[in-house]
Structures are given as C-alpha cells and as structure tokens.
Amino acid sequence: MLLSGNLNAQYLGTLQFIPLTSNTLSYQTPVKVQLSTLPQAFIGFITNQGLILDSIPAGICNASIYISGYHSVEVYEIQIEPGKTTVVQETVFEASKSLDTVWIVSTPPFQSPVMLLTWNELYRMPGTALDLTKAMQSYPGVLPKPGFGYHLSFNGGASFENAYYLDGFPISTLNHFAVQGASGGPNALINMDFVKQMSLSSHALESEIGNALSAVVRIEQREARSDRWGGRLTQGGTDYGIMLEGPLGHQTGLQVSARNSFSQYYLKAFNVPVLPTYRDLQFRLHTRFKHNSDLLVTGIGGWDSYALNSQGRSSDALLYNIGYIPQGTVQAQMAGVRYRYFTSRQQFIVQASVDNTINKAQKYKNNSGLFNDLNLNYSSNELKQYFKIQHAFTPHQYFKFITGINTTQSNLYLKVWQRQLNALFLPDTFYSESTVPVRQWSCFAKLYAVVLNNRLHSEFFVRSDYWNVSSIKSPFQILSPSVKLTFKSSHQINLQGSYEINHQMPPAISLLYNRALNSSAAVKPVQSQQTQLLLEYQKSTQFSDRKSTRLNSSHIPLSRMPSSA
C-alpha cells in the first residue's frame, strides 16, 4: 500500500507492520491505518510481508491500526527515518465477533498507567547521554544518586531490591562496573539503539516476577530493519561503537553492536587515580516460523577493568587514592532464548536464559604486583539459570487469565583473602571461601478484568515461592498477592489504587557471608507490604505531553537477615 505525497524522497521513510495472530490473515483482510502526522486514514489489505506503508514523512508519529475482526492496535511514538524501513511487530487478538465488512474499533483493554518511556523520549531527555539509568533517575520516586556507582533506588529501597528484564529475560545489571549486591556503575551496558521502549513499575509488581521488592524495569528491544542491511557508527563522551542490522531471509532479522571505551586515555591526562576501561557486545536474532509462532535469541555482555594511574603526576591526592583503592575486573553476561505460539485465544511462552556476573579485585603493597606484597584478593561469581513456562487465555475481549511456573538455579561463590591487624594490632590474615547453591521455584496466576463500559480495570494475581535456603519450607507460607484497580473517570484522568505483598531472599553477598561464618541463624525472605494511590492526568497520547501526580505510601518490614548466631 502506497501513500502519495509531495515531499522530497529524502524526507520520506517506510513503515512495516507485522501482526502476530493465531490465524493466517488472507490477502483480502482489510486494514485501516491512521497516522498522527497525516490528516487522512488509509485503507489497504494484508500482504505476505504484513502491512507496508511507503512515503511516510520522517519524524515521530503515532499509529492506530484497525484489522477487520481483530482488536485495534495503538503504537506510540514511532521513529520514521528517511530512506529506512521501520519494523513494528505487535500481537493482535480476535474480537468476540469477527465480521468481514465492519470495522471493529476499541481501546486496548489491558493497559495500566505504568511509567512508560519510548526510545524517542529517552533520546530527547536532556542530560541522559543516551543512558537508561540516567533517564530513570530523573523521575519522581527514584533517588538521583545515592552514592558512588549510580545505584538505582526506588522509593527508598536498596539497589538489590530491583529486578531488570530485557525482552522478558532477567538481567543482573543495566550498567558497566556492577558490584555484587548493587545495580551498576556510571556507564550504560545496554545500547540505546536496540531499545524500543522501557516500562518502570514501582507498585503492583507483575506476579510472575519474584525476588523483587522495590521496582521492576522492563526493557523491550525493537525489531531489525527488513529492507536491507545497514549500520550506524557512534562516538560518545566515553566510548565509540558500531551497530549492524538487517534481514536474514524474509522472516528473520539480526542486530549486532559492539562498543569500546576510550575515556581511560583522557582521564589519565587529567591525573585521575582510577582508569576504567569497558567494552560490550549485544545481539538480537528474531525469526518468525509461521504466522502464529516466533523464536527470539538475544544476549548481552560487558567486560570491564579498572586500573590505577600509578604513572600519573605525583600529588598528595593521587598518592593517597592509589594507596588504598584496589584494581580488578568485572564481567556480566546474559543470553536467552524464547519461543512463542499463538492459538485462537491463547498464547504459550517457553523461555530459558543464563545470567553470569564475575567480580575480581586485588590490592598490592605499593602497587608492586608482587605475590609477597598481596594485601587483598577478592573473587565472586553469581551464575543463574532461569526457565519459565507461561500460558495466557483470553476468553472475552475484557477478560484475560495468565498462569505460569518459574524455576531459578543459582550458584553463588565468594572468596576473600586479606591482610589485616588483629585485636592486638598485630599482622594477621583473613581468609573466607564459601559456595551457596540456591534453588527457587514459583507458580503464579493472574486475572485481568474490564467492567463498567471499559472504565474500571482490575488486576488480581498471586504467586507462591519456595527457596531451598529458606527456613520456611512450605510454599503456601510465602504467598505474594496483589490487587490493582484503575478507574477511568474520563479519557484524560485515571485513578489507580493497589495493594501488594512481595517477598525477596537476602542478597547473595549476605547469604555467602552467612555461610562462610557458619551462622545458624534462620534465613527468611524479606517481606514488603505496599499500598499506593495514583492520580494521573494524561494530556494527550503523546508521551511528552503526559503529566501525572503521584502519591505513594509503602511499608517494608524486614525479617531476620543472615548473621552469625
């Protein structure tokens, strides 16, 4: 389907919409598209490549897509670039009555006002430098900078109380230079060129997500371009990189990026005591087997090191800092695979992933690097394997039921050797080495319901957890229920209230030290109870115009943390 216009071709782009549905859409299936940047709606038909719109003015636009017999799809802030095909892939569900000649137009029934940031909003936000964490820290309820390392703290919670997901796969950190029990350092790990949108929820956490108390951050990656291969070279304030993307056949797209830092060179010129070096690699391979199934393989890795500027210009500040700061390496990798299958009103998801974080640090007397001068040797490793099966059933336009099971196999390791002074101020050594295998199983159920003529949206869900290291052995004693009600008093005003109970095991560093000290103290999951009221005024469908007022009250009682008896 072509859109004619009088604009020069260099200011025009292409939009390709690929619907994921249980049934094959025939070439006779009519489609109506309304773009926010054009005054008229366009009517066409589905092809074997989905829906292709040519000659669209470059810039940002919203799209309302109506497919006969299916619920409408709203896509916000699509970036149309000149001479490039932008691919948008969305799941569409059949309406309760399928008519060939009647347009079924309805608002999406299962949308709740979480904090949603699109790529365009992240890109335009001043001061973020294309960094996801800096964008989040500019929002209410997020502590701007609690200390060194740019740790993320939501509503007063600790940084290890957050959960991060990349295309639904758990990831331990969003930044380079992550340390055990924290969320990362000052440099972003995720390439912004991959990001489609990011959602942030600090209340009524999704039921399938366990081991989180404060917030859940979901990052969704965009589709690769389908017309031809292309790339992008970038140079930021601290690194340079390259990104390549393009099709591998008609149904497969691949994105690959690599970045390397150069900040260590000019930091050395400024006589900074620590010289950080980092590099990362990210990829995403997405293929569609049929009209109703797809496979996603994605991964990301960061390799960091921090060295001391022992050759810098001599000064009191430099000598003091390099005298006690250690040097070491940090590695963080994640890889996952997901398979989805759609039927008429059901969706099946099976996914598995591996997440690994390694920290090493050493400190030598006078920074000599000699074995006899070793004062500190630190090594930690967190290897986690995730597996999830999820089933969604939509019996009616305004009802949806989701069930699933999760399992996590974690191997935690910590080794510390350090020279120190004992109680008599005599030279002594401290050595500790511990390994803790952690097994977690959980099952969850969630119900969405929309009543009162699409004005009252309700969500009820519950999750049951079991940890092998917990002193509570019955999974029915660790229940995390939640209820969320959203009332739409008008098209612009939403009133939401939620109550939830969540559980989380103590951080890995606490479990490891508890095991190293042979503590007999009982280990119980930390519990939080949170009540929230949210009043939102949405000026328009453009995210940049959305304004909201939030009132949040939370209470987090802590159970016994690991300690020596």
pLDDT digit string (tens) for 466-518?
998 887 877 778 888 989 888 887 767 778 888 888 888 888 888 888 887 77
- State both tokens at 389: 């099966």
Helix, strand and coil percent figures for the chain, each rounded to 5: 10, 55, 35
Q: What burial class does residue 228 get, using C-beta atoms within 10 Å of its C-beta: 0-12 exposed, 13-18 middle, 19+ buried?
A: exposed
Mapping DSSP to helix (H, G, I), strand (E, B) and coil, where does residue 150 land?
coil
> What is the DSSP track for 232-268?
EEEE-SSEEEEEEEEESSSSEEEEEEEEEE-HHHHHH
Angle at 235 between CA 230 and CA 241, to 5 degrees: 55
Residue 351 has pLDDT above 60, yes or no: yes
Q: Alpha-carbon distance 203 to 384, whole Å?
A: 26
Residue 411 has pLDDT above 90, yes or no: yes
Phi, psi of 133 (to 5 degrees): -70, -35
pLDDT digit string (tens) for 188-224?
899 888 998 888 887 667 667 778 888 888 999 999 9
| Least confident span in 255-259, 288-292, 555-559 | 555-559
For the chain, give the number of residues: 565
The reported pLDDT for the residue numbered 555 is 57
Q: Give the count of alpha carbons within 13 A of 253, CB side only.
A: 23
Q: Regarding beta strands 59-67 and 12-20, do their DSSP bridges make them parallel or antiparallel, or are they unpaired?
A: unpaired
- State both tokens at 454: 């699409």
The reported pLDDT for the residue numbered 113 is 44
The reported pLDDT for the residue numbered 26 is 62
- State both tokens at 510: 């606490």
Residue 319 makes CB contacts below 8 A (sequence gap 6+) with none
pLDDT digit string (tens) for 229-243?
999 998 877 889 999
Mapping DSSP to helix (H, G, I), strand (E, B) and coil, where does residue 466 land?
strand
As a whole number, mean pLDDT of residues 430-458 equals 90
Q: Alpha-carbon distance 73 to 63, whole Å?
A: 8
Residue 31 has pLDDT above 70, yes or no: yes
Q: Alpha-carbon distance 359 to 13, whole Å?
A: 45
- State both tokens at 231: 């790339």
Residue 294 makes CB contacts below 8 A (sequence gap 6+) with 20, 286, 287, 288, 339, 340
Q: Regarding beta strands 479-488 and 456-467, do their DSSP bridges make them parallel or antiparallel, or are they unpaired?
A: antiparallel
- State both tokens at 270: 């400024």
- State both tokens at 181: 């029990």
**% of residues, the chain, pLDDT over 90:** 28
